[in-house]
Structure 1
Amino acid sequence: MADDQRTRSAPAEGTGGRRGNPWWTLTSVALGVIMVGLDGTVVSIANPRIAEDLGASLTDLQWITNSYLLALAALLVFGGKLGDRYGRKLIFLIGVVGFGLTSLAIGLVGNIVGIIALRALQGVFGAMLMPNTLAILRGAFPPKELNRAIGIWSGASSISIAGGPIIGGLLVEHVSWESVFYINVPMGAIALAVGLAVLRESRSESTGQRHDIPGIITLSGGLVGLVFGLIKASTWGWTDPKTLACVFAGLAVLVLFTVIETRVAAPLLPMRLFGNRSISVGSAVLVINFFALFGVLFFVTLFLQNVRDTSPIETGVRILPLTLAMMIMSPIAGSATERFGPRPPMVIGLVLSGTALLLLTGLEPGSSFNALWPSLLMLGIGMGLVITASAEAIVGNAPVDDAGVAGGLQTTALQLGGVVGTAVLGSVLSSRVASVMVDKLTGAGTPAEVANRLTDSEQLISQGVAPQVTGASESVQAAVTAGSHAAFMTGLHVSLVVAGIATLVAAGLALLVRRGDSSDGTPVVVH
């Protein structure tokens, strides 16, 4: 094809100065990634104080996170497409500014409805920011250095994830919960200043094509329906007609989306991308990878705070083996991917992650940190390998003209994996807790009549919290606590087994991935 015969402009052009220099470009996009990564981890630390100050319910707190994830997951591919058409630098910087301003507004709004609405708007700007970071790197770095750059990009995200819980705990404890949002304002200002100074504009050559409005509506609507159903399943139940209606309606709209994309002249998400085995398999593997990671992080955090009674800051410190390993491994994974291609690091990383998840089933209510950190370290090494290699498998195999769309697809897979993991593994845990709760309570010495009365506390026990029994003696309350924690651990073990097996299956799928050829495809227009 004629498009395949064209070559892109030299990405390292102008490296004698800051503008267009690949490494200054990497610095700029890394600042944006760090801002988003910090926001994702510090908010969870602020939730208890938000509930206390604003009278928020548990459902309200869930929607503070879920409204953001829904907007982000639904619009990531569109955000990449906007960058491809109007300029990746422009859309990235609009995302940076919008993300910082909505963060400021969240701290000032003063009511829970406003926070939820602004978090959704923050997700919109996040969807403009994130996919274009990878597309900008694709246009700035020559093929031989791209994998190393992606590894550093991934490491920047890992740094923010690692530091987020500790920074958030310090801010909430010593300043205010609002300050965890205000921190994005100076971060955004720095990212904007650096971006204006060093980034070169790049876009797809197909800039005259119209937007695929039917594709935008059906992709966004389908993802919202599917994700909304998965999120609400833990409340409604997986077999509830409302859950099934949302999930199947979302899937039906996504099927309609795929039909539309095969028939329009300028599709939002070109279906030809999935004709590349590495892109389709890489996307599936990334969904499974983050299905396991997000679900396990959520429940291990509950284990540490509610069963082991550690503070938020202490919990963040105890998770450092995972997050620091991800941070350190990301650039190493970039070099390994550059040398061997994405398949070996993906397979090795997934095998390590799956093994670590299965080893975590040895945790008990009284387990010390020594029983936890080796598995978290192994999980972090595995995740660091997979994140970087999967970015190469998806973005590196896409034509350069589709780099923004591919970046959006990669980040969408990540977010969907996280939402699905939390929802599905949460449902697995809750179901198992419900089935063993009475037996675990009576086995720990709780009187049968007290155990039967506590069946209404299933959701509380599923979080690792032992219900308080009014008028109970110290020995009975101790038995309730022991039985509740035992039931929670049983559910946690089943969730870990499901996550571990899914990850090992993904390792088998990763054998189908091949090295991308970054020199293929249509050129990036560099200004």
Structure 2
Amino acid sequence: MTTTAAPPVAQATGLRASPWGTLVAIAFGVMMVALDGTIVAVANPAIGASLGASLAELQWVTHGYLLGLAVFLITAGRLGDRFGHRKMYLVGTVGFVLASVAIALSAGVIMLIAFRILQGVFGALLLPSAMGLLRSVFPPHKLGRAFGVFGSLIGAATAGGPIIGGLLVGSFGWQAVFYINVPVGAVALGLGLWLLAANRPTDPGSRLDVPGIVLLSVAIFALVWALVEAPAVGWTHPVTLASLGAALLFGAAFVLWERRPAHPLLPLGIFANPSVSIGTVLMVLMALGLMGSLFFITFYLQGVRGMSPAQTGMQLIPMTAMMAITSPIAGRVLDRFGARIPTALGLVLSALGMFLLSRLDADSGVAHISIGFVLLGVGLSLVMTGATAAIIGNAPVRFAGVASAVQQAAMQLGGSLGTAVLGAVMSATIVSTLPGHYAAAGLDVPAGEELAGMQSLVAQGGAALPEGVAPETAQAITQASNLAFLDGMHLAFGIAAVVMTFAAVLSLAMRSGTTTGEPAVHV
């Protein structure tokens, strides 16, 4: 492993090259990538109607973006360390905008999915470089504050995605959710050219670890593929087992290989710092509980409660707004007290929020739902800021890109794992409880292939209503299906609460400090 010190950073002149100028410069690029993670969800029905896409193809409109992002993140982080984060950030911004235009111009869903994967690749270039730029210009005692503002940007963009997407699709068509990246990307590019300091690689003497790139890319691709396909085809299906086996094989080969080269893709030595290792695990567990649960809360709000997409987006605002508001405060708390206690407190609050949501029923009041979301929002702002500071702040500055990529990859993989695992819990619970609810309602009890066919629809908050069924029977079927859905949701959200509680205990093993103390610049 190289021990070359990070090159000195140019002196700031006004906003240019200054820490806060850097934060302003990357804000639009970061928000553009975060916005694209949620804005597309409301466009899927319009995309399906316009391009004749199936449900599986529409799912890959989302999964393709995740795949490109997850597979390329760590490689992109290493490229930033090697060639300079400013250069990689600008390349990622331009590529993201061009890919967005190509998506909007797609004549078929397969072409659209291909460009969504490419969009994810350019997003992977952009995000670690943005975090690496922050790590290299902010001094240790203000790094938590920077990560807090960074978290609020992501929270605001995530919160605005469904609302902005609904307005754009309703007024201009589904293509508008991708064309919106053109003006946003233009501002991001202009601010980057103006405010970011001259390009300075933090680890310029390193060489690209091509075997490591290949091994890690195949391992992550196989893992994400298995997590995406398992809920549809089953965990014991040959495709799922083969993908998991390939992920394990190539992952093990990657770890063994990384001990050999002088300039590894992922310097394993950064995990010798317990705060980096624990922070990575916490990010996976947090994303597992959060994203896995929120995937199903939208089905509850729209399917069981009958809310419109716009009403659903409004109901989620207490959580996303609290994340946007409290993340900067969380950053200041981290600068003063370190990462350990605030992160543990955030995980406890998140666990309480998940427990409240696990008690929802078919007629729970808005206050009940909102309190759960407020607790989640406050808790997650502490967790995301704390875990990010633990990972990136404790890694050497010369590996800032790799460390930020590890943080982002952990969050993406945790989200995929959560959706797959909690989805399996939902499905198994529905299959086991739906017949009982049908029997209690005096309905014919489904079994075998009929039950398996109903499971997917019920897991989305719906009900399998036969054509021409009487209104009274339709109401009974809907109520029985909703009760089975709630059974699954209660168990899945309860598991998420337990996972976050375990993570809170684990977080206490982190060091109280948040940074390595390597010099950056002083504000």
- Give the TM-score band, short-chain normalised: over 0.9
SS in 2 for 1:420: helix
1:52 corresponds, among 49, 53, 59, to 49
Q: 1:467 to 1:262 in 2, by over 3 A?
A: same
Mark the CA change 1:307 to 1:519 in structure 2 (over 3 Å): closer, same or farther: closer
SS of the residue corresponding to residue 380 of structure 2 reads helix
1:110 to partner: Cα distance:
2.3
Distance of aligned partners of 1:82 and 1:138 in 2 relative to their CA distance in 1, 3 Å threshold: same
- Gapped runs of 5+ residues in structure 1? none
Shift of 1:201: 3.3
SS in 2 for 1:267: coil
Structure 2: give runs of 5+ residues left out of the alignment.
Answer: none
Counterpart residue number, 1:390: 387
Q: How far apart are 1:367 and its partner, in Å?
A: 2.1
1:455 Cα shift? 4.8
Q: In the alignment, is residue 146 of structure 1 matched against residue 143 of structure 2?
A: yes
- Are 1:256 and 2:253 counterparts? yes
Deviation, 1:18, is: 2.6
Going from structure 1 to structure 2, the CA distance change for 1:38 and 1:206 (only over 3 Å counts) comes to: closer
Residues 130-145 of structure 1 aligned to structure 2 (within 5 Å): 130-145=127-142
Residues 30-78 of structure 1 deviation map (CA, whole Å, 9 limit, x = unaligned): 1111101111111111111111221211110111111111111111111
How far residue 10 of structure 1 moved from its aligned partner, in angstroms, is 5.4
Q: Counterparts of 1:455 and 1:3 in 2: how far apart (Å)?
A: 57
The 5 A counterparts of 1:388-427 are: 388-427=385-424
| Aligned mates of 1:342, 1:147 — CA distance in 2 | 9
The answer (yes or no) to whether the contact 2:464–2:477 under 8 Å persists in 1 is yes
Q: Is the 8 A contact 1:203 1:401 kept in 2?
A: no
Change over 3 Å in CA distance of 1:389–1:113 after alignment to 2: same
Confirm whether residue 71 of structure 1 aligns to residue 63 of structure 2: no
What is the letter of the counterpart of residue 434 of structure 1? V
Indicate conservation of the 8 Å contact 2:323/2:380, yes or no.
Answer: yes
Q: Which residue of 1 aligns with 2:34?
A: 37
1:205 CA drift (Å): 4.8
Alpha-carbon deviation of 1:454?
5.3
Letter in 1 for 2:29: G
What is the alpha-carbon distance in structure 1 between the residues aligned to residue 358 and residue 477 of structure 2?
22
Amino acid at match of 1:165: P
1:484 is paired with a residue whose SS is: helix
- Structure 1 counterpart of 2:397, one-letter code: V
TM-score (normalizing by structure 1): 0.95
What residue in structure 1 maps to residue 107 of structure 2?
110
Given residue 9 of structure 1, which amino acid in structure 2 is its aligned partner?
P
**1:267-319 CA-partner distances (Å, limit 9, x unpaired):** 00000011111101100000110111111111001111111111111111100
The verdict on how the C-alpha distance between 1:325 and 1:20 changes in structure 2, with shifts beyond 3 A counting, is: same
Q: Which amino acid aligns with 1:487?
A: A
Match of 1:127 among 109, 124, 133: 124
What is the alpha-carbon distance in structure 2 between the residues aligned to residue 300 and residue 389 of structure 1? Answer: 25
- Cα deviation for residue 405 of structure 1 reads 0.5
Q: CA deviation at 1:169?
A: 1.0
Question: 2:242 aligned to 221, 245, 249, which one?
Answer: 245
Change beyond 3 A, Cα 1:350–1:450: closer
Per-residue CA deviation, residues 7-29 of structure 1 (Å, 9 max, x unaligned), is 76357x22x42321211110111
**Is the CA contact 2:389–2:515 (under 8 Å) kept in the aligned structure 1?**
no
Alignment partner of 1:212 is 2:209 = yes
Shift of 1:242: 2.4
CA contact (8 A) 1:203 1:525 kept: no
Amino acid at match of 2:268: M
**What are the Cα deviations for residues 361-381 of structure 1, in whole angstroms up to 9, with x where unaligned?**
211122232221100110111
Does the 8 A contact of 2:68 with 2:121 survive in 1? yes
Deviation of 1:204 after TM superposition, in Å, equals: 4.0
Quote how far apart the aligned CAs of 1:429 are. 0.5
SS at match of 1:362: coil
Tell me the equivalent position of 1:323: 320
Report the residue type matching 1:492 in the other structure.
M
Closer, same or farther: CA 364–451 of 1 in aligned 2, 3 Å: farther
What secondary structure is seen at the aligned counterpart in 2 of 1:469?
Answer: coil
**Cα deviation per residue 1:369-426 (whole Å; 9 max; x = unaligned)?**
2221100110111111001111110000001100111011111111111111111111
Task: Note the alpha carbon deviations across 1:216-261, whole angstroms, 9 max, x for none.
Answer: 0111100111111111111121122321221122022111101111
Answer yes or no: is the 8 Å Cα contact 1:83–1:203 preserved in 2. no
Contact 2:6 2:203 in 1 (8 A): no
Note the alpha carbon deviations across 1:185-235, whole angstroms, 9 max, x for none: 110000000000000135445323321001101111001111111111111
Contact 2:203 2:399 in 1 (8 A): no
> How far apart, in 2, do the equivalents of 1:212 and 1:516 lie?
32
Identity of aligned residues (%): 44
Query: For 1:35, what is the secondary structure of its paired residue?
Result: helix
1:117-516 equivalences under 5 Å are 117-448=114-445, 453=450, 455-516=452-513
| 1:122 aligned partner, one-letter code | Q
Q: How many residues align?
A: 522
Which residue pairs with 2:93 in the alignment? 96
Matches within 5 A, 1:16-31: 16-31=13-28
TM-score (norm 2): 0.96
What does residue 8 of structure 2 align with? 9
Counterpart-to-counterpart distance in 2, 1:486 and 1:342 = 41
Checking the alignment, whether the CA contact within 8 Å between 2:39 and 2:164 is kept in structure 1 is: yes
Q: CA separation in 2, counterparts of 1:445 and 1:368?
A: 29
Shift of 1:431: 1.2
Q: Secondary structure at the match of 1:464?
A: coil
CA, structure 1 residues 517+354, in 2 after alignment: closer, same or farther (shift >3 Å)?
closer
* Greater mean deviation of Cα atoms: 206-215 or 75-84: 206-215
Aligned 8 A contact 2:7 2:200 in 1 = no
Give the aligned CA root-mean-square deviation in angstroms.
2.0
Q: 2:107 is matched by which residue type in structure 1?
A: G
d(CA) in 2 for partners of 1:319 and 1:106?
28
SS at match of 2:40: helix
The letter of the residue matching 1:52 is: A
